Amino acid sequence: MTVEQDRLVTENIGLVHACARRYMGRGIDYDDLYQSGCEGLVKAAAGYDGSRSVRFSTYAVPAILGEIRRLFRDGGSVRVCRSLRDLGLKIHRAEEEFRRDEGRDPTVSELAERLHVEPESIAEAIDASRPVLSLTAERDGEEFEEDVPSESFDETLVDLVALREAVSMLNADDREIIRLRYFCGKTQSFVAEALGMTQVQVSRRERKIIKKIREQLVN
């Protein structure tokens, strides 16, 4: 992982919290949702092309959501294989040695060189062993919920990207109805005339489309 990829991951970790919160209360611990989302963020950072006119946050959200959804399809928590755990221990020892020798924290590339492994493997092991934030904690013998800080921009972005994905799955006629009604602010009468339908047909079709979008957003 390059320095730029490290920066993208660090600066956009709030997106993972925002995405993970969408799937809370569905049978998988928040810690596992968060870790899976982090994997999506790392993959997005590795595949992002900054020369294109797409913001990284917009590019990353589908990747984060995809990893979290895959976790549900797999039907289990995030599991860290033994090889990654072993590499994580080696990284921890190498970091301590590097700090003692150099007086500073090592980069991913420096750790890779010292351990004779690929930088991608170092990044994966670090991500797998990274402590996650739990929603519950204990104080004075009682369990309570911790607040997870986030920015409203992240939440809005997640909702917008998820909505765009849901709309993109509609057929061309249904997308045009949504575009005219909700993005152009046109009346049902206008849409009916533009698409050669009756207003009643547009009204019925619109209700079905909205129901379909809502089902897509919660799945």
**Structural domain spans, the chain:** 3-144, 169-218
Q: Locate all alpha helices (DSSP H) within the chain, ordered by sequence.
A: 3-11, 13-21, 30-47, 56-74, 82-102, 108-115, 119-129, 152-168, 172-178, 188-195, 199-218
pLDDT at 133: 43
Residue of 1, 93, 99 lying closest to 43 (CA atoms): 1
Tens of pLDDT along 93-139?
Answer: 888 888 888 888 888 778 888 888 877 677 767 765 554 444 444 55
pLDDT at 65 over 60: yes
Rounded Cα distance between 34 and 40, Å, is: 10
The sign one gets for the Cα dihedral 5, 147, 37, 84 is positive
* CA angle, residues 116, 117, 118, in degrees to nearest 5: 135
| Weakest-pLDDT range from 5-19, 55-69, 125-139 | 125-139
The CATH T-level fold of domain 169-218 is: Arc Repressor Mutant, subunit A (1.10.10)
| Residue 195, pLDDT score | 92
- Residue type at 33? L
- Give the total residue count for the chain: 219
Instruction: Give the chain's mean pLDDT.
Output: 77
Residues 49/180, Cβ–Cβ less than 8 Å: no
Tokens read off for 45: 């950072």
How many other CB atoms are found less than 10 A from the CB of residue 29?
15
pLDDT score of 30 = 85
The answer to whether 38 and 16 have CB atoms below 8 angstroms apart is: yes
Tell me the mean pLDDT in the region 182-201: 89
pLDDT tens digits, 165-188:
777 788 989 989 988 887 788 889
**pLDDT class of 146 with cuts at 50, 70, 90:** very low
- Equal fold, 3-144 vs 169-218: no
Rounded Cα distance, 213 and 75, in Å? 24
The position carrying tokens 């934030």 is 133
CATH architecture of 3-144: Up-down Bundle (1.20)
Read off the pLDDT band of 12 (50, 70, 90): confident
